[in-house]
Amino acid sequence: MRIDIISCVPGLLESFFAHSILKRAQQGGYVEVVLHDIRDYSVNKHRTIDDYAFGGGAGMVLQIEPIARCIRALQAERTYDEVIYLTPDGEQMQQKMVNSLSLKGNLIMLCGHYKGVDQRVRDLFITKEISIGDYVLSGGELAAAVLSDAIIRLLPGVLNDETSALTDSFQDNLLAPPVYSRPADFEGHTVPDILMSGHEAKIEEWRYRQAVQRTRERRPDLLD
């Protein structure tokens, strides 16, 4: 999989992709993440990428020309399964959506900024619009980081223990059960006996019941 992220502040994302699991995923050849600066595709010598909104109103709008040039340059090199625009008025990101995107080949993610992008970018180039929740961020970069992270960790081989993504919260509409590690006794606070019993089937059953209980308490909407 290759993910091309188009942004006017790509520097925001550089260190994010250079660490931990995302770094290993790229080094292991499971994914290639390429950041693009919209300004590099500006059509004038001042390298401008935004302008006032027609009809007036506050806020600048990202213009269509630099973005069109960038997307077209990418599409001339390879095919993309989706051209995603990260925007608070998009479809809300869910694990199911992430699972399906993790099965795709190449993705473009366009990060909005200011008051948004010229509507014609969305009409002409975008195949999917995604929001990461009902709150407003100052740009789409963090949303692109969230979406990329959620996708990349699902790619086969990326996680050390391949089964661990299967036991994530949300993967079966249940929150994950509690986990414990050493020491078995921290200042009198002990670990549930069942986890120390070595009885695998009983431990699985306990975890399942904990997951259901936690979901009922915290996210009853998931059980509907």
Binding site residue list for S-adenosyl-L-methionine = 112, 132-137
Stretch that binds ligand 6GU, among 49-57, 58-66, 138-146, 150-158 (CB under 6 A): 138-146
Give the integer Cα–Cα distance in Å for 109 and 142.
12
Q: How many CA atoms lie within 13 A of 165 on its CB side?
A: 18
Say what the alpha-carbon torsion angle 97, 102, 108, 112 is, to the nearest 10 degrees: 40
Cα torsion 197, 203, 206, 211: sign: positive
Judged by CB, which is closer to ligand 6GU: 122, or 207? 122
Judged by CB, which is closer to ligand 6GU: 2, or 128? 128
114 near ligand 6GU, judged by CB under 6 A? no
Binding site listing = 112, 132-137
Which of 63, 131, 148, 215 is close enough to bind ligand 6GU by CB under 6 A?
Answer: 131
Stretch that binds ligand 6GU, among 42-50, 75-83, 119-127, 133-141 (CB under 6 A): 133-141
Binding site for ligand 6GU (CB under 6 A): 86-88, 112, 131-133, 135-137, 139-140, 143
